[in-house]
Structure 1
Amino acid sequence: MENKEYIESGILELYVYGLLSEAENDEVTAMSQKNPEIKAEIISIEKAIINLSSSFSPFISHAQFEKIKAQLELKHGKVVDFKSRSNRLNYLGWAASLALLVGIGFQYNKLTQSNEQLKVKENEKLNLEKTLVTVESKSKATESALNVIRDENNTVISLGGQAAAPTAKAKIYWNKQTQVVYVDASGLPEPPEGKVYQIWSLKLLPQLTPTSIGLLSDFQANQSKVFAVDKTTGAEAFGITLEPAGGSKSPTMEQLYTLGKV
């Protein structure tokens, strides 16, 4: 068989793909060593297939590309007698199909990456929305606190530290007309775990009569430390005690933190 017929038979493509038997591989190898034209054709086929795969390799993982490339490496084998060039075209078509599969893999990987990026963007959007809600909430709380402090109708009562907490202090903002009461607790220390500050409206005469008007719950979460408590009327003094979580029916005088007369 002449070199041209041998080359056009398709046997060299089978050799490159590793589809020949061991004996056939040995014979093709022997012929390629004796015939430079055949050897050059084998090298050309190998380069064409690897280049075709390489055109997709940057978009797939290194491990995937190496697996595909390994299947296309040069093998050794024997001649099988083919009569038509169409066989060669068939095997080139097989190579094109392989390249198509690689391309599909690339598109799948890109789609997966796009979906992951979309999820990240959605999470970032949700986190941003939560942050905006938190900022708006803090802004409203700050604005509300400022309105209380600036309200000229409020009577301001300063509460000084007592034996349980000499350095503690607080302020009561009391509108006697509406009976609305706000407490500025920024001068109080952080309450211990399991404890809560309780606000008392006091009548001093004819005897001391305390009335609970609220708890300073969520003390740490309240950035402004200005709390709205229950309305009161006829108060002659205000006091703040440290009580067990949930509050007490009557003030624990040993834990009286601040006290102030109207």
Structure 2
Amino acid sequence: MEDIKQFIESGILELYVLGDVSAAERREVEAMIQKYPAVRAEVEEIERALESYAMDNAIEPSEKQRAKVLNSLVVNLADDRIFTKKETVTEPTVISMRPPATNNFYKYAFAASITLFIASLVVIYSLNSKLQEKTQQLIAANVQNQHIAKTVNYMNEQLGVFRDTSFKILHLKGTKNLPDGNMVVAWSSAKKKVMIDLKSLNMPVNDKAHQYQLWALVGGKPVDLGVFDKVEGDSLTMKEMKPIALAQAFAVTREPRGGSVNPTMSEMMVIGQF
């Protein structure tokens, strides 16, 4: 069956219908037509296609040309002088003609170009698959490198805070609203810098309508130090909050997204004092 398919796709059937084949090729095609119905059906389909093409592209003669031909026929038929009284039988003149030389160059060049085209498609598909594979590998490596870089930055940031003797480390403990909650705050009064450790943060993930807000207690009054989110999974960053020089205690409340002017005491999560 594969040989029949290759024979049909070789282009020889189109050349056979057009009469551009050698005697040996014609006999081969006619033998295949007799033997395989699929070949016969393909030849008939080609003939129908060529006939349809000829009909679609036929040129209709002008009315002037049509009238000229018809008038010529009428005149010739009406003139008896063009007929002889005695029918003369003329031997037909037979002129021997050499069969046209068959040029197979274009046929085989066309077949070779098709083969080259298919081979090129196979090579392009293979190269594209390899390129996509390499791209995925590069993406995975880039993600891994970003994760490593993020981890290194967090460790450097954390070590920088804990090595700086001007920072005081305070562990905030959970309230009745969150008994198991805890949080680490690093504060440098000299640098007026406040850092929170999001990696060690033990608090539930806040919803989209709320955020956590950090407060400092200064002279018995709460001072806003900014809002933050608890995201799913472990975060590898230390977040810098608003600066402050004096503080007796730190606390976190849950507030509407964007924060509040005053803390909601009923939503206090963790608190710690020096």
Give me the TM-score of the superposition, normalised by structure 2: 0.59
Partner of 1:155: 168
State the secondary structure of the residue aligned to 1:241: strand
Per-residue deviation, 1:192: 2.7
More displaced 10-residue stretch of structure 1: 125-134 or 138-147: 125-134
1:198 pairs, out of 191, 208, 213, with 213
What's the CA shift string for 1:66-112, capped at 9, x where partnerless?
x99x98xxxxxxxxxx966953xx34762453133222332244234
Shift in Å at residue 143 of structure 1?
A: 1.9
Q: 1:100 aligns with which of 88, 113, 128?
A: 113
Which residue does the alignment assign to 1:234?
A: 246
| Matched residue SS, 1:200 | strand
User: In 2, Cα distance between the equivalents of 1:190 and 1:146?
Assistant: 26
Deviations 1:193-247 (CA, angstroms, capped at 9, x unpaired): 12211110102x4xx3101111123644762353211111121111111112211
Q: Structure 1 residue 160: deviation in Å?
A: 1.5
Residues 1:223 and 2:223 aligned together: no
Give the distance between the partners of 1:13 and 1:239, measured in 2 at CA: 96
> 2:215 is aligned with what amino acid?
W
- 1:154-211: CA deviation from partner (whole Å, max 9, x where unpaired): 11222121111111112221112111111234242233312211110102x4xx3101
1:120-173, CA deviations, whole angstroms, 9 ceiling, x for partnerless residues?
534543453344234313321232123213322211222121111111112221
Give the secondary-structure state (helix, strand or coil) at the position aligned to 1:121. Answer: helix
Q: For residues 201 and 229 of structure 2, what CA distance do their matches in structure 1 show?
A: 16
Equivalent position SS for 2:131: helix
Q: Residue 4 of structure 1 corresponds to which residue in structure 2?
A: none
Q: How many residues align?
A: 195
Query: What is the match of residue 252 of structure 1?
Result: 264
Gap runs ≥5 in structure 2: 1-20, 43-96
CA distance in 2, matches of 1:187, 1:129: 28
Identity %: 20
Structure number, greater radius of gyration: 2
Check the 8 A contact 2:191/2:245 in 1, yes or no.
no
Report the TM-score when normalising by structure 1: 0.61
* RMSD of aligned residue pairs (Cα, Å): 3.5
- Tell me, what secondary structure is at the counterpart of 1:188? coil
Structure having greater relative contact order (Cα 8 Å, sep ≥ 6): 1
* Equivalent residue runs for 1:1-262 within 5 Å: 10-16=22-28, 18=29, 86-87=101-102, 90-91=103-104, 94-95=107-108, 97-115=110-128, 117-122=130-135, 124-185=137-198, 186-194=200-208, 195-203=210-218, 205=219, 208-217=220-229, 219-220=231-232, 223-224=235-236, 226-262=238-274
The 2-side partners of 1:245 and 1:167 are apart by 23
> Aligned partners of 2:109, 2:118: CA distance in 1, in Å?
14
Q: Which residue of 1 aligns with 2:73?
A: none
- Runs (5+) with no aligned partner, structure 1: 1-8, 30-66, 72-81
Query: 1:222 and 1:142, CA in 2 relative to 1: closer, same or farther beyond 3 A?
Result: farther
